[in-house]
Every structure is written in C-alpha cells, then in structure tokens.
Amino acid sequence: MANDTKIAVFGGGCFWCTEAVFQNLKGVNEVMSGYSGGHTGKSTYEEVSSGTTGHAEVIRVTFDPEQISYENLLDVFFGTHDPTTLNRQGADSGTQYRSIILYADDNQKQIAEDYIKKLTDEKVFSSPIVTEIEPLTEFFEAEDYHRNYYKNNPGKSYCQVVIDPKVSKLRQKFSHLLKG
C-alpha cells in the first residue's frame, strides 16, 4: 500500500451496495461503510434510519491515486447509482439514502463540481443531478455487521435482487478498472 493514499467519501443509497461496487476496483485499498453529513455526532444505524440525524449512509474509500484517480472513482459513483432521485435509490427512501459527495479537500470539491457540470452539459441524465457536494467533517464507522455485507451474505435476497445487478453493471461498464 502506498504511503500517499487518499480518501473519498460517497453516498449513493444503501451503503451495502456502494461498498460492494467499490471493493472491486483496483487501487482501492479499503472500503468502510459509515455515516456522515448529518447534524448529530456518532449515531447508530437505527438512529440514522429514522431520518432524524441528517446523516447519509456513505462509504469511505481509501485509494492509491497512482492506481486509480478520483475522477475514475466519480465515473464509477455516477455510473452505478441514480444521482437524479432526491433522497431515494430504488425502494430505499429517506435522506439517509441521498446522493452525496463529501470532499476531503478543495481539489476534490473542484473535481466533483466540474464533473457534475460536464454530466449536466452533456445531458447524460434526463433529469437534473441532485447529488450534494459537502465538506467532509466527520465520518462514523457503521456497526460491524454492516461491513463486507455483500461478501458475507451473497445468498440474502437483498444482495441478489439489489446488489447483484449493480455489481454486474460495474463489471460491464468498468471492466478496465477492476481488480485482476
């Protein structure tokens, strides 16, 4: 693992889905599910699920920028969830499932803003992008049972019905970014 690893934090609906997608990328050293973007301190899954904390379900991606760029991560982020649905991804609804980028520095903020502008200018989506771009202030790790959920529970119906199609889409659209 390189000494100059970076972090990126994304929320694209259920963190089980985004974790499963980003774990497959070369240059990604760790994906941690958690909560961020809210107005309360450390919160539990139950509290975040209530919608009262303001936190979103997010993932913290630790990556080696020599192997995968932040722009590549944005490609995957926008290519594997719907950034046009407000506070919803599929059947999951509520502010905890909003599309959000929590930037670690001004460079990430600028890249994310430019990326969304490009997608908008090119009319990649038929509806406006509602992805929030906010500074990363705190990240709270999710409870242990959420970690590696897809890898640990491939037979569960949620994994088969919701996560499997996202991972398949990743493999089709982003094969050049996958681990060997």
- How far is residue 118 from each of residues 96, 102, 113, 129, 155, measured CA to CA in Å? 26, 19, 9, 11, 38
How many C-beta atoms lie closer than 10 Å to residue 12's C-beta? 28
The verdict on whether 159 is a catalytic residue reads: no
CA distance 32 to 136: 15
**Residues pairing with 31 in the sheet:** 61
Rg of the chain on CA atoms, in Å = 15
Residue from 8, 14, 162, 163 carrying the catalytic annotation = 14
Burial class (CB in 10 A: 0-12, 13-18, 19+), 87: middle
DSSP strand pairing (140-141 vs 88-89):
unpaired
Q: Shortest CA distance to 58 belongs to which of 27, 22, 82, 26?
A: 22
Residues designated catalytic: 14
